[in-house]
Amino acid sequence: MLELVSSWSNVHSLPEDYVFPTDKRPGEVIAPACKTIPVINLQDAIGNNRNDMIQQILNASQEYGFFQVINHGVSETLMDDTMKLFKEFFDMPDEDKASVYSEDPSKSCRLYTSSYNYANEKVHFWRDNLKHPCHPLEEWVHLWPERPIRYRDVVGTYSLEVRDLSMRILELICEGLGLQPGYFGDELSEQQLLSVNHYPPCPEPSLALGLPKHSDPNLITILLQGDVYGLQVFKDGQWIGVEPITNAIVVNIGHQLQIISNGKFKSAEHRAVTNLRDPRTTVVTFISPSYKSVVQPADALLDEFNPPIYTSFIFKDFLINYTANDGYTEAALEPYKIL
C-alpha cells in the first residue's frame, strides 16, 4: 500500500527505481501535441456524410492507429462526473484506498501501482491503476469499490454509455472494411475492462514514465484523458502528443483489430509521460474478445492477392504470451505472423 504514488507526500526527488534507462526515458524535450491526429465528428453517422466519415475512421486507423471522436453521444455531464469521481477516488485517505488495494493480479477488481509485476520489474511506472470488468454490469458491479459512495452509480452509467459508443464505432469499422454487419458484435467484443490511471505530479518528468511504450493487446480502446497532456504515440520513429481536446474521446486500435484487419489497421505503440505540476487521471476502457474466442484475419479481407499475414489463435493464449513479454509489440505478435 505504501508504494501507491498517489499516497506519497512531499516527494522532491525521483527515487532511483523510477529512473528509466537513457534510451527509454522521455528526456527534456516534450513532444508537441499533434494537430494531425484525426478528430472525427460522429454526428456524421446520420446523413450524407456517413461514407466520408467512415473513410476518415479507416484512414486514421491505418495511418495513426489513433483518432479522437467528438459529438460521440456520451453526455458531457457524465464525462465530467466520471472524471471528478475518479479524482476523488485517488484523493481518498489511505484507509479507504486500502480496501481496494491488492497485489494479487488474479483479483478482478483491484487498485495497485506501476504494473502487475511490481516485485520483479526493473523500473517502476509513475502511476497507480484501478481495474475492474464492467460487462455485463449485473455480473460485476457488486465487486466494484463502494467509495466514493456515488461510485457504482456513476461508473455503472458511464460503462453502459461507453459500451454503446464502442459498439457504434466497431459497427462503422465493420461497414468500412466490408465485413458482415455485427462481425464484432458477439464474442469479439464480449469483455469490457475499465482501467483508470492516476499520474500524480512527478519531480523529474524527463527521467520517469507513467506508462512505457506499448500497444494495447485488446480489440479497441476508448480513453478519456481530461485536460492534461501526457499521451504520446510513436509514429514514423518519433513521439507525437495526443492533444487534449475538451469533451473529445480518444480511440485507439488494439492488436486484435490489427490482426482481424489483416494488418490494414495499426495497433500503434504509445506511452504516457508525466509532468511537474498537474495530476493526470485517464479513464480507459478496453474492449476485448472473450478468452475462448478464436481470432484471425477476417475472411472477407482475404483472397489470392491478399493472403492472411497472421494465423488464427485463441485470445487467451495471445494474452498469456503478451504478458510474458511485458507487452513488447514485436514479441507479442511474432508467434502469429505468417512469413
Residues that bind ligand OGA (CB under 6 A): 195, 197, 211, 216, 225, 230-231, 270, 272, 282, 284
In the complex with Ni ion, the residue whose CB is nearer, 216 or 243, is 216
Residue 231's binding partner, choosing from Ni ion, ligand OGA, none, with beta-carbon cut-off 5 to 8 A by kind? ligand OGA
H helices of the chain, where?
50-63, 76-91, 94-98, 137-140, 151-177, 255-260, 315-324, 329-333
Q: Out of 128, 216, 243, 269, which residue is the one contacting Ni ion (CB under 5 A)? A: 216
Task: Check: CB of residue 267 under 8 Å from CB of residue 253.
Answer: yes
Task: Check: CB of residue 40 under 8 Å from CB of residue 53.
Answer: yes
In the complex with ligand OGA, the residue whose CB is nearer, 37 or 284, is 284
Nearest distance in Å: CB 299, ligand OGA: 30
Interatomic CA distance for residues 195 and 242, integer angstroms? 19
Nearest distance in Å: CB 248, ligand OGA: 13
Query: What residues form DSSP beta bridges with 103?
Result: none
Nearest distance in Å: CB 242, ligand OGA: 8
Select from 129-137, 215-223, 228-236, 328-336 the region that touches Ni ion (CB under 5 A). 215-223
In the complex with Ni ion, the residue whose CB is nearer, 132 or 271, is 271
Burial class (CB in 10 A: 0-12, 13-18, 19+), 120: exposed
Q: What is the CA radius of gyration of the chain?
A: 19
Interatomic CA distance for residues 156 and 97, integer angstroms? 20
Residue 329's binding partner, choosing from Ni ion, ligand OGA, none, with beta-carbon cut-off 5 to 8 A by kind? none
Interatomic CA distance for residues 114 and 6, integer angstroms? 11
Closest CB to Ni ion: residue number? 216
Closest CB to ligand OGA: residue number? 282
Nearest distance in Å: CB 133, ligand OGA: 15
Which residues make Cβ contacts (< 8 Å) with residue 63, sequence separation at least 6? 266
In the complex with Ni ion, the residue whose CB is nearer, 83 or 211, is 211
Interaction site with Ni ion (CB under 5 A): 216
